[in-house]
Amino acid sequence: MSVLDSKVPEGDIREKWDNHRFNMKLVNPANRRKYNVIVVGTGLAGGSAAATMAEQGYNVKSFCIQDSPRRAHSIAAQGGINAAKNYPNDGDSIWRLFYDTVKGGDYRSREANVYRLAQVSNNIIDQCVAQGVPFAREYGGLLDNRSFGGAQVSRTFYARGQTGQQLLLGAYSAMSRQINKGTIEMFNRREMLELVMVDGRARGIIVRNLVTGEVEKHSADAVLLCTGGYGNVFYLSTNAMNSNVTAAWRCHKQGAYFANPCYTQIHPTCIPVSGGYQSKLTLMSESLRNDGRVWVPKEKGDKRHPNDIPASERDYYLERIYPSFGNLVPRDVASRNAKLMADAGKGVGETGVAVYLDFKSSIERIGEDAVRAKYGNLFQMYEKITDENPYKQPMRIYPAVHYTMGGLWVDYNLQSSIPGLFVLGEANFSDHGANRLGASALMQGLSDGYFVAPYTVANYIGSNASELGSMDTGHEEFTKASRAATERLDELIAKDGKRTVDDFHRELGHIMWDKCGMARNSEGLTQAISEIQTLRSDFEKDVKVSGSKDYKNAELEKAGRVSDFLELGELMCRDALERAESCGGHFREESQTDENEAKRDDENFCHVSAWENKGDVKDAVLHKEELKFENVKLTQRSYK
């Protein structure tokens, strides 16, 4: 077991990034056009990185899986984006945003990265406004803020319930400008299947053209992986249907370490599961907890209509247990409490696996129109899916898989353990520790893409200039990687078993949700590992993939992704088993306080677990990065 070097610069945390920026190598503007940068993914991280690097003068090749870069799943983020502007004058500061994020992450993130994130948060808002992003405003014409979980200040900028859409369209427009100038070459409907390594460096990728089926080779001097999270390993999640781990997993197999795979965020406010045919879960933004009150009936099995249950017979349990933060406790705390209520038989709705989120008091206080102005699109979406009117009766909500804090390990420069491979946004692991606070994902994606990677990638290119430069895709490593990708496609397409890809995916999802979901224990995880191994070998024998690889074939695409999820799932369970403590979203039942809160074990687990692939998942080797907390004191989190 080796110890990983995070390459965090020396000095006071407030000066690290500024000093580092000064010390990093630059590339002469005239030389930049000689270098090629590949950006995989066009969400907030990928879109902003591609646009910014192209503005600086690099040749950028950008890849996305959808038919247009505007469709990446960042678009679905609803609630908002944090920044330490302190416009409401309620005591916010860079330091407070840094502190809240480290605490919210249950002290499992890297301090220096989080501080930098808080530092550049304000630049992000400036940049987006300049691009024409229509954030919500007050009547005086200035920007409006709202509150989010895990903070006692209002620091969240928003655009109705469509903040992600507006920010993504901002990055997309910046990209479009560069595509028009010819500095970004855009490749739509491409899926990355392999990372190409030459002399120990990332030098290109192999992609499948999803329309023609052609396997293509693309070379570069640096590869930026911005491919999002892996929540779809659970089958049901709030992720888009095509979100997957394949690009990251292929890099992992080439030597990139996978860090903290077990850190999964289960979001407390989603529309509950209704039937076996269900394909995805829909989030109801955390911002709703500003005006909605969470409750269950005090009595077990109370089947009355919610409107018929008087206030005295309701348990507003978050307000009761956490009087300081109330309904705005962090996501992991809210989710776990909902599960405790359902497990105690107090769940509501037909299935009993839901709790209420009630807007009645807000509607009485500020009126239905004011509630509609804030959350109209969310209420409408809720009604479409459930056929119930949330203005007239409380929403039913339940936690669902939403975000993955784990991801490929990166150092302070966002470089993975493979030189030349940078990982941005949700695909990396670094900023959110064991629990991400609301409105921080958009902040991190844009921070990495607009303000961090453009500097650190330039530094990599500038420092290794003699070894970089033109790379011919005729190189044997490209041929090898392309052959490996093609062989796997042939292998999958030849499978003529009896079960569909979705059928395997659903079964994997059940195992993960039951045994590696909101609560985990040693026995369940051990079982899950063996169940996933069996499922994986069944998949190889019994899956049926129809059609050919030589044209658009969604079944083949899904088969490749599920095949990688089947390996990742096992690694997640191994990681969860090894981490015999509770922290943030990782709740080990064996490690809890008397009040059922997550109990950390700082003596043994104050580290990042980064896994190195050695072929089979069971042989993965653990490397540790010790986490040092020099600025925020390690304490038991309390939101009471």
Partner 1 sequence: MGSGQGKNLKLTLKVWRQESAADSGKFESYDLDNVSTDMSFLEMMDVLNEKLVLEGNNPVEFDHDCREGICGMCSMVINGNAHGPERATTTCQLHMRRFKDGDTITIEPFRAKAFPVVKDLVVDRGAFDRVVQAGGYISINTGNAQDANNIPISKVDADEAFNSATCIGCGACVAACPNASASLFTAAKISQFALLPQGQPERVERALNMVGQMDKEGFGGCTNIGACSRACPKEISLENIARMNSEYLCSTVKTKS
Query: Which positions are catalytic?
Result: 331
Sequence-distant (≥ 6) Cβ neighbours of residue 470 within 8 angstroms: none
User: How does strand 264-270 pair with strand 395-404?
Assistant: antiparallel
Q: Coil, helix or strand for 116?
A: helix
Q: Coil, helix or strand for 466?
A: helix
Name which of 72 and 576 has its Cβ closer to partner 1: 72
Is residue 369 within a helix (H) or strand (E), and if so which, with residue range?
Answer: helix 368-386
* Closest CB 62 distance from partner 1, rounded Å: 12
Name which of 91 and 384 has its Cβ closer to partner 1: 384
Distances (CA, A) of 8 to 112, 116, 256, 411: 7, 11, 19, 8
Cβ pair 429, 436 in contact under 8 A: no
Name which of 107 and 135 has its Cβ closer to partner 1: 135
Q: Coil, helix or strand for 1?
A: coil
Sequence letter at residue 587: F
* Closest CB 225 distance from partner 1, rounded Å: 19
Distances (CA, A) of 480 to 239, 376, 483, 486, 547: 33, 53, 5, 10, 25
* Closest CB 139 distance from partner 1, rounded Å: 5
Distances (CA, A) of 208 to 55, 487, 557: 28, 13, 9
Name which of 388 and 523 has its Cβ closer to partner 1: 388
Buried b (16+ CB within 10 A) or exposed e, 206-245: bbbebeebebbbbbbbbbbbbbbbbbbbbbbbbbbebbbb
Q: Which of 604, 622, 625, 597 is nearest to 612 (CA)?
A: 622
Rounded distance between C-alpha atoms, residue 450 and residue 454, angstroms: 7
Helices (H), 403-550: 441-446, 453-463, 476-493, 501-515, 522-542
Q: How far apart are the first and last CA of the chain?
A: 39
Name which of 86 and 609 has its Cβ closer to partner 1: 86
Name which of 462 and 497 has its Cβ closer to partner 1: 497
Name which of 69 and 445 has its Cβ closer to partner 1: 69
* Closest CB 312 distance from partner 1, rounded Å: 27
* Closest CB 498 distance from partner 1, rounded Å: 8
Strand-by-strand arrangement of the 215-219 sheet: 190-198, 201-209, 215-219
* Closest CB 218 distance from partner 1, rounded Å: 19
* Closest CB 237 distance from partner 1, rounded Å: 11
Name which of 424 and 471 has its Cβ closer to partner 1: 424
Name which of 69 and 585 has its Cβ closer to partner 1: 69
Which sign, positive or negative, has the C-alpha torsion 535, 536, 537, 543? positive
Q: Which of 85, 89, 114, 86 is nearest to 99 (CA)?
A: 114
* Closest CB 385 distance from partner 1, rounded Å: 7
Is residue 566 within a helix (H) or strand (E), and if so which, with residue range?
Answer: helix 554-578
Helices (H), 254-313: none
